[in-house]
Amino acid sequence: MPGVYISYPFCAQKCTYCNFASGVFSADLEREYLGAVSREIESQDWRWQPETVYIGGGTPSRMESSDLDRLLSRTPGRPWPEATLEAAPGCIAKDKASDWLRAGLNRVSLGVQSFIPRELARTGRKHTAETVAAEIGALREAGLSNINVDLIAGLPGQTIASWKESLAWIQKLEPPHVSIYMLEIDEDSRLGNEVLLNGKRYGAPDIPSDDAIAEMYEIATIELRRLGIHRYEISNYARPGFESRHNLKYWRLEPYLGFGADAHSFDGSQRFQNVESAAEYVDRSRQAKSPRGAATPSNNAEEKFFVGLRLSEGVQPDSADWTRFEAPIQRFLNEGLLARKGEKLILTDRGVLLSNEVFAEFVGI
C-alpha cells in the first residue's frame, strides 16, 4: 500500500545549512496551517489504508501532542506498520515520547547532524551530545526504540578526527538506523549561498575539501558496517530489519501521497507537488483551492536507474532497458562504477562516490 507524507515546515530556528522550504513563522500561521493540512487529509478519497506514515519538516516534534494526535487521527489505518516523526534534539522528554507512541508513531528520526559542540554552534543548532544521549534514553524508556540518527559530513570546521568522535557517539548510543548526508552547497541555504559568494559567514571558509568529505563518508560506511549497521541506500544505513519502509517506497518507485506545503506525491505514473510556501498553502485552503500543482509524467525507465541504483539491492534491467541504456551500462561496468550481482546492476563503492555522474548518464537517453 502507498505511504503518506505529512509536511510540517515550522522550526525554532533556521539552520545555516538547511535548504528545505522550512523556517520560523508566526504562531498564527502555524495554527492555520494545521487546520489546512487536516482539511487536505480529510478531503482525500480514502479507499485504502497507508502502510507507512512519515511526518517531516521542519520540526514536527515541536507540535503540541494534542495537535499531532488530531492530525494523525485524520489518516486511516492507525496504528500503521511504520509511522515516523522527524525530531530535533532538545525538545524530547519521556512524557512527550509516550504521547507520540499513543498517537500511533513507532519510529523517530533525530536530526543530530553532529555531536561536536563547535560544529553544532556554527550551524545554529542548540543541542549537545549529552542532550541527544538523554533524549534517546527517554525515547527508549517510553517504548520508542526504532530510532534514526542523521549526521552531516562536510560541516564547517569538521575534521576527520571530529567525524570519528561523532561516529564514536553512534557506537555508544547504538541507534538501529543512521543517515549520513554530505553537505549540499546551493543557494537555497545561507551557508551554501555564502560559499558560492566566497563569503566568510557561517564558517564558510572552513568547509572541508571534497576529498575530506568523501573520506568521511567512507570512514562512516566502514565503521557502521563494523557496528552491524549496513548501507542499504547511498545515505542510509540500518541493522537488518530496521530499514525505513517509508523511504524505500521512494527508491523503489512505489506510490506515496503527500499532504502539506511542498509535499510531493507519486501515483505510480505521475508526480505532483504542493505549493512550496506555508502561507500560500494556507491561502489556497482558505479559498478551497487545491494546493497541488500540475501533474508531471514520471519517466519510469530513467527513474528506475537514477533512483533505484541508490539502493544496495540495485536494479534489474529488462530487455528494453538493455537496448536503451546499453552504452552507459557497458561503460560504467568497464570503468568499475557498476557491477553485476546476478541479474541486477549495483553501484560499486567507487560508483557510490561518483554516483551523481553515473545517474546523469541515465537521464535524457
Residues that bind ligand SF4 (CB under 6 A): 11, 14-15, 18, 20, 22, 57-59, 88, 111
Give whichever of 87 and 352 is closer to ligand SF4, judged by the CB atom: 87
What is the closest distance, in whole angstroms, from the C-beta atom of residue 347 to ligand SF4 in the complex? Answer: 27
Query: Which residues have a Cβ under 8 Å from the Cβ of 73 and sit 6 or more positions away?
Result: none
Contact 213, 153 (CB under 8 A): yes
What is the closest distance, in whole angstroms, from the C-beta atom of residue 216 to ligand SF4 in the complex? Answer: 19
Give whichever of 278 and 315 is closer to ligand SF4, judged by the CB atom: 278
Give whichever of 13 and 44 is closer to ligand SF4, judged by the CB atom: 13
For Cα atoms 23, 17, 229, give the angle at the middle one, nearest 5 degrees: 110
Give whichever of 9 and 317 is closer to ligand SF4, judged by the CB atom: 9
Give whichever of 21 and 339 is closer to ligand SF4, judged by the CB atom: 21
Fill in the amino acid letter for 345. L
What is the closest distance, in whole angstroms, from the C-beta atom of residue 267 to ligand SF4 in the complex? Answer: 27
Query: Whose CA is closest to 223, among 169, 285, 187, 266?
Result: 169
What is the CB-side half-sphere exposure of residue 360 using CA atoms within 13 A?
A: 4
What is the closest distance, in whole angstroms, from the C-beta atom of residue 327 to ligand SF4 in the complex? Answer: 39
Give whichever of 154 and 308 is closer to ligand SF4, judged by the CB atom: 154
Position with the least CB separation from ligand SF4: 18
What is the closest distance, in whole angstroms, from the C-beta atom of residue 16 to ligand SF4 in the complex? Answer: 9
What is the closest distance, in whole angstroms, from the C-beta atom of residue 58 to ligand SF4 in the complex? Answer: 5
Give whichever of 85 and 358 is closer to ligand SF4, judged by the CB atom: 85
Query: Which residues have a Cβ under 8 Å from the Cβ of 345 and sit 6 or more positions away?
Result: 309, 314, 315, 316, 317, 329, 338, 339
Give whichever of 178 and 311 is closer to ligand SF4, judged by the CB atom: 178
Pairing of strands 338-341, 147-153: unpaired
Provide φ and ψ at 218, rounded to 5°. Answer: -65, -40
Exposure pattern of 185-223 as b/e (b: 16+ CB <10 Å)? Answer: beeebbbbbbbeeeeeebbbeebbeeebbbebbebbbeb
What is the closest distance, in whole angstroms, from the C-beta atom of residue 192 to ligand SF4 in the complex? Answer: 12
What is the closest distance, in whole angstroms, from the C-beta atom of residue 154 to ligand SF4 in the complex? Answer: 14
Please state, as a whole number, how many other Cβ atoms lie within 10 Å of the Cβ of residue 142.
Answer: 20
Q: Read off the DSSP letter of residue 153.
A: E
Q: Return the residue matching grid coordinates 523503489.
A: 252
* Longest pairwise C-alpha distance within the chain: 58
